[in-house]
Structure 1
Amino acid sequence: MVGSVFFLACQSKKPDSQAETPVTDSVEQRPKPISEPLVTHIYTADPSAHVFDGKIYIYPSHDIESGVKEDDLGSHFDMKDYHILSMDSITGETKDNGVALDIKDIPWAGKQLWAPDAAFANGKYYLYFPAKDKSDVFKIGVAVSTSPIGPFKAEAKPIEGSYSIDPAVFTDTDGSSYMYFGGIWGGQLQRWTAGKYDANGSKTDAQKDEEPAISPRVAKLNKSMLGFAGAVKEVKILDKEGKELLGKNHDRRFFEASWMHKYNGKYYFSYSTGDTHFICYATGDSPYGPFTYRGVVLNPVIGWTNHHSIVEIKGKWYLFYHDSILSGGKTHLRSVKVTELIHNADGSIVTIEPYVK
C-alpha cells in the first residue's frame, strides 16, 4: 500500500515584491498528486524538516527564475536566499517567515544557495548551507540564530574541511551530531576523490561503471556546532552480499540529498539516485555506516530532482519532498510537499508513489 494520503491547505499570503509568483500548472495531463504544495506564493524545494519545541520547521531552498541557462551542472539553480516555513501541526496552515539569510550577508559566498539543513544545540539554532565561494567551489557554511526562524548570522568563513553540497545534520540519542554531505555532477563531489579539489576533474561521475560508486561523506560536528570534530569519512553503501554498490547501478547508488533518521535503534541513511530520480534508503548499526541497501522510499516526481527529509511528529513519521507540478514541470521551480511515511514491522519502509495511479 502507498503511504497514507492527505492534503494540506495552502497558504493564501500574497507574494511580496521580491518573490517569483508561481503560476498554476498549465501542462496538460499531469498526474494527480497525493499531496499539495505547502506554500504557493513562492517556489520551495529540498525540504529539511525538524520539530523544535513541539512546532514543525521546514528549511528549504528558495527557487527563483534567475534567467541562467540550464545545464548539467545546475547553473540555473541560482538561489539567493532562504525562507523558513513553519507549521503548528501537520495539517495546519504553513507560514512563510520571510528571509532568514541572504547571500549578500555571507562574506565568503559567491553564488547558488542550495539545499540547507538546521540543528539546535547550546541554546542556539544552526543553519547549514552550501554555496559556491568566490572561486566557484562549493563549500558548506553555517549561520547562527537564537530563533528557529532567524534571522541567521553567517560565520565569516565556510566550515574548515567542508566541500560539496547538501549538508544534513543528524543528532543521535547520545547528543552527538554528525553532518552528512555530498553530491556528484554539479555538486562537485567527483572532483574531491583525491582528497583535494581538482578544478579540471570530471563534470559528471568520475568513477567507472565497474568500480564502487562515489560515496557520500560524513563528519562528526564539534561541541560548538561550527566545525568538524574529526576527519571527513566516506559513507559506504553495500548490497545484500556486503559489496559496495557500483557506479553503473544508477537505480541504487548515491547521487545527492543525504538524510539520516533513527528508527527502533537502526540508522536509516536515505538519499537521491539523481539521474534516475529515486529516493532510496539503506540501514546500519552506526551513524558512520556501513549501510546495507534496503529499497525505495519515494518513486520519481515531476521535475528532474528528488530531495527529501524524514521526521517523526507526534508518534507518526512523515516524508517531506518536492515536485514541479505547480510550475508546469520546470525543473528549477519546485514546491515542497509532505505525506505520511510507514515503517513495516520488519523495519522496511513502504515505498511511496507520489501520484495517484
Structure 2
Amino acid sequence: MTPIYLLSCNPSTEKQTEEITENEESKYLSKPLVSHVFTADPSAHVFNGKIYIYPSHDVESEIDQDDSGAHFNMRDYHVFSMESIDAEPVDHGVILDVDDVPWAKRQMWAPDAAEKDGKYYFYFPAKDYDDIFRIGVAVADSPTGPFKAEDEPIKGSFSMDPAVFQDGEEYYMYWGGIWGGQLQKWRTGEYVSTGDRPYDDEPEDDEPAIAPMIAKMSDDMLQFAETPRQVLILDKDGEPIKAGDHERRFFEAAWVHKHDGKYYFSYSTGDTHNIAYAIGDNPYGPFTYQGVILQPVEGWTNHHSIVKVDDKWYIFYHDTEISGETHLRNIKMAEMTHNPDGTIQTINPMK
C-alpha cells in the first residue's frame, strides 16, 4: 500500500507534494521492503544462496488497542525472497492460513523458519481454542511452501515468538513474550492468571525479570528434545537483569546469531522499544548484557532478525512508515556492524 495524497492538481501543489514526500522519506534510515501488504516481525534466512523473509502479515482490525495486543489480529503468512541484498523482494503469496491449522483459533504472530536435510520447517505461534498461545510447526519441500501444518502444536510449547538457531548439527528454539505473549502467566510451570491486566502476573521490580525459554529440537524438528529451560540475561556484575529495569529486561522477540565463536542473544525490551543484545559462550547462556543494536522505531513495537549475507551482517526490522498505525507495519533492513571487540554498533532507524 502506498500513501494517497488528496491535493489539488496544480504545479505548485505537485511540487509541494514531492517535497513533503522527500522530507518524510528523509526521516528514515531505510525504505520499506514491501508496500503492497502490511508486514512485520521479519525472520530472515539464507537458503541455497537466496534470502528468504518470513514476516507476520498485519491486517486491519476493529479490535481496540490494548496491552494484550488484541488488535494484532493476523490470520496468515506470506514469504518473500530476494536474489541479493539489493534486489526487490518477491512475494510468493500465502504459505499458511489459520484455517489450515486444526488447533489454531486466531492471532498468528511472529514466525520463523529453518532448513534441515532439504526439508523446510515453519514455526509459528497462535492462540488455541482456549485462547492460550501455543507454537506450531508446518513442513514443506521448498522454502516458499506449500507448508502443511502438524495437527497439534509442539508438546510443551507456550507463549510466542519462536526463533530457531542452528549450531552445527543441533537446532535450538528460543521463544517467549510477556504481557500479550502470556509468558508471565507460566511462572509456576502451568498457565495461571492472577489479574485482569497482562502485567499483573509480573514479578516485583527488584526481582529477576521473566526469562525467555530455550529447548533443543528433536531430530525430526517437530518437537522439543528436552524440557525447556530459562535463558538467563545477566548484567556485567553477573546479576540477573531485574524486572523493573525496562531499558534492559527481556520483553519479546528473541533471536540468536553467532559471530567469532560467541553467541549473541538479541531481543526487544518492549515498552522501551530497544533491540538489545547480550553475549554468551554457548546457546543456553547465560548471556551478559552489552547494549542496544537498534534504537526505537516509529510505532509501538520493535522486532527483528539478524542474518549474514555474503560477508556482511544485516538486521531486518519493521516500523510504521507507510500507515502510521501501530498494528499496520512494514518491514525494512539495515547493515549491521560488529566492532573489533565483538560489540555491535548501535543503529538509529531515524536519520
TM-score, normalization by structure 2: 0.93
| Residue 181 (structure 2) aligned to one of 182, 187, 190 | 187
- How far is 1:22 from its partner? 5.1
- How far is 1:66 from its partner? 2.3
Partner residue in 1 for 2:291: 295
Partner residue in 2 for 1:23: 3
Is the aligned partner of 1:257 residue 2:237? no
CA distance in 1, matches of 2:285, 2:277: 12
Equivalent position amino acid for 1:332 in 2:
H
Consecutive aligned runs of 4 or more in structure 1 exceeding 6 Å deviation: 25-29
More helix per residue: 2
Q: What are the Cα deviations for residues 74-107 of structure 1, in whole angstroms up to 9, with x where unaligned?
A: 0000001000011000001111110000000000
- The 3-state SS of whatever aligns with 2:271 is helix
CA distance in 1, matches of 2:2, 2:212: 33
- How far is 1:23 from its partner? 3.5
Is the aligned partner of 1:68 residue 2:63? yes
Partner residue in 1 for 2:262: 266
Considering only CA atoms, is the larger Rg found in Structure 1 or Structure 2?
2
| CA 326–278 in structure 1, closer or farther in 2 if over 3 Å, else same | same
Partner residue in 2 for 1:90: 85
Partner residue in 2 for 1:229: 225
1:110-259 equivalences under 5 Å are: 110-173=105-168, 175-200=169-194, 203-204=198-199, 206-259=202-255
Equivalent position amino acid for 2:179 in 1:
W
| Residue 333 (structure 1) aligned to one of 311, 315, 328 | 328
Partner residue in 2 for 1:342: 337
Report if aligned partners of 1:221, 1:228 keep a CA contact under 8 Å in 2: yes
Report if aligned partners of 1:25, 1:325 keep a CA contact under 8 Å in 2: no
- How far is 1:24 from its partner? 5.2
Is the aligned partner of 1:106 residue 2:86? no
Q: Which runs of 5+ in 2 are unaligned?
A: 7-19
- How far is 1:69 from its partner? 1.4
Partner residue in 2 for 1:10: none
Q: What are the Cα deviations for residues 269-328 of structure 1, in whole angstroms up to 9, with x where unaligned?
A: 00000000000000000100000000000000000000000000001000000000110x
Is the aligned partner of 1:40 residue 2:35? yes
- The 3-state SS of whatever aligns with 2:115 is strand
- The 3-state SS of whatever aligns with 2:114 is strand
Aligned residues: CA RMSD: 1.5
CA distance in 1, matches of 2:273, 2:52: 25
Q: Which runs of 5+ in 1 are unaligned?
A: 1-20
Report if aligned partners of 1:57, 1:87 keep a CA contact under 8 Å in 2: yes
CA distance in 2, matches of 1:211, 1:112: 31
- The 3-state SS of whatever aligns with 1:127 is strand
- How far is 1:25 from its partner? 9.0
CA distance in 1, matches of 2:127, 2:27: 36
CA distance in 2, matches of 1:308, 1:241: 27
- How far is 1:67 from its partner? 1.5
Partner residue in 2 for 1:285: 281
Equivalent position amino acid for 2:330 in 1:
S
Partner residue in 2 for 1:80: 75
Q: What are the Cα deviations for residues 211-270 of structure 1, in whole angstroms up to 9, with x where unaligned?
A: 000000001001000000001000000000000000111000000000000000000000
- The 3-state SS of whatever aligns with 1:351 is coil
Report if aligned partners of 1:55, 1:86 keep a CA contact under 8 Å in 2: yes
CA distance in 1, matches of 2:216, 2:4: 43
CA distance in 2, matches of 1:68, 1:147: 35
Q: What are the Cα deviations for residues 123-175 of structure 1, in whole angstroms up to 9, with x where unaligned?
A: 210000000000000000000000101111000000001000000000002x1
Across the two proteins, how many residue pairs are aligned to each other? Answer: 334
Identical columns (%): 60
CA distance in 2, matches of 1:122, 1:228: 18
Instruction: Tell me: higher relative CO, structure 1 or 2? Use CA pairs within 8 A at least 6 residues apart.
Output: 1
- How far is 1:68 from its partner? 1.5
Partner residue in 2 for 1:309: 305
| CA 269–24 in structure 1, closer or farther in 2 if over 3 Å, else same | farther
TM-score, normalization by structure 1: 0.91
